[in-house]
């Protein structure tokens, strides 16, 4: 799969458009050989709005790679100090990816964050680790 910066040419919804026209450096896509988007990360400075990989394209490490690209861009272009994201409390697979593979930590719990009433974990990753851990 081809991993590249997301451009207008690959977005077709208003949310993508808004991100691509506000923080063009931070969103990335994974594209299959036929040019179809099979995974993406939609991000703003210091925050991941959405990250997703189509089911058949799992086990390729795409989420990991997309996240790394977006993080490095945040530091290089905006000198970001940390990155946060929200995840459904029930989404164990995602929580494990963020925590065990990508080094995020849970820093907050937000009650009823999602439209259907489910709680969210707020997770955070610090780009420059402080000497003493809180």
Partner 1 sequence: MAHAAPKHRQLPDKESKLFRELLTQYELKQYKKGIKAADTILKKFPNHGETLALKALTLHSSLPEPLTISAVPKKEEAEAMARLAIKKDITSHITWHVLGILAKSRKDWDEASRAFAMARKQDPDNIPLIRDSIALLTHTRQYGPALAARHHYLLLRPQIRASWFALIIAHQLNGDLEEAIAVYNDYQTTLKEEGATPPEKAQILLHILRIYIEAGKDEEGLEKLRQGVKDGVISPRGECTVLKAQMLSNLGRQDDALQTYQELLEQNSDNLEYYKGYLRNKGIDLSAELTDESRSKILETLSSFAEVFPRSAAPRRLALDFSSGDKFRELARAYIVKGLERGVPSLFVDVKGVYTDSTKMKVVGEIVEEIVSKLEKDASLSDDDSISPPTMLLWAYYFFALHISYPSQISPDYTKSLELLDKALEHTPTLPELYMAKAMVLKRSGDLLNAAYEMEKARLLDGQDRFLNGKAAKYWLRAGEIQKAEELLAMFTKKDLPPTQDLTDLQCLWFLQEQGDAYRNQGNLAMALKRYHALANVFQDYEDDQYDFHTYCMRRMTFGAYVSLMRYEDQLRSHPGYFKGALAAIELYTKVHDDPSITEEKISPEEEAERKKQAKKAQKAEAKAKKAAATSGEKADPPVPDADPTGIQLLKTETPLDDALKLWKPLERLAAERIETWLTGYEIYIRKKQYLAALRALRTAQSINPTHPALQYQILNFNKIITSAELPEQIKSVITSELPSLLPSSPAEFSQSLVAKAKSPEEIYYAAKGIFEVNEKDIGNAKEVLTKLANQDIIPNIEFMFKALELIEVKGTIEEVDSLREKYIIRCPSAWVLLSSSEKENKTKLYKEGIVGFQGQGETEEKK
What minimum distance in Å lies between the beta carbon of 7 and partner 1?
6
Q: How far apart are CA 25 and CA 16, in angstroms?
A: 13
Tell me how far, at minimum, the Cβ of 58 lies from partner 1, in Å: 7
Tokens of 121: 């974990």
Q: Closer to partner 1 by CB, 22 or 81: give it.
A: 22
Cβ of residue 99: shortest distance to partner 1, in angstroms?
Answer: 20
Shorter beta-carbon distance to partner 1: residue 59 or 111: 59
CA-closest candidate to residue 97, choices 126, 58, 54, 57? 58
Comparison of 128 and 132: residue with beta carbon closer to partner 1: 128
Tell the smallest beta-carbon distance from residue 61 to partner 1 (Å): 7
Of the candidates 29, 45, 41, 132, which has an alpha carbon nearest to the alpha carbon of residue 83? 45
List interacting residues with partner 1 (CB under 8 A): 1-5, 7-9, 12-14, 17, 20-25, 30, 32-34, 38, 54-61, 65, 69, 72-73, 76-78
In the bound state with partner 1, the residue whose beta carbon lies nearer, of 28 and 98, is 28
Nearest to 6 by CA among 15, 50, 14, 19: 19
The closest of 9, 26, 8, 25 to 17, measured between CA atoms, is 8
Token pair of 128 as six digits: 């420059």
């Amino acid at each position: 799969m081809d991993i590249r910066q997301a451009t207008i040419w690959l977005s077709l919804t208003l949310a993508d458009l808004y991100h691509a026209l506000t923080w063009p450096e931070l969103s990335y896509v994974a594209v299959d050989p036929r040019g179809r988007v099979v995974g993406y990360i939609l991000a703003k400075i210091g925050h991941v709005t959405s990250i997703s990989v189509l089911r058949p394209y799992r086990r390729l490490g795409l989420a990991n790679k997309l996240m790394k690209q977006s993080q490095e861009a945040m530091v290089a272009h905006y000198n970001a100090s940390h990155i946060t994201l929200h995840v459904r409390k029930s989404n164990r697979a995602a929580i494990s990816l963020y925590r065990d593979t990508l080094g995020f930590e849970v820093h907050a719990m937000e009650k009823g964050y999602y439209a259907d009433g489910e709680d969210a974990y707020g997770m955070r990753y610090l780009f420059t680790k402080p000497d003493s851990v809180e």
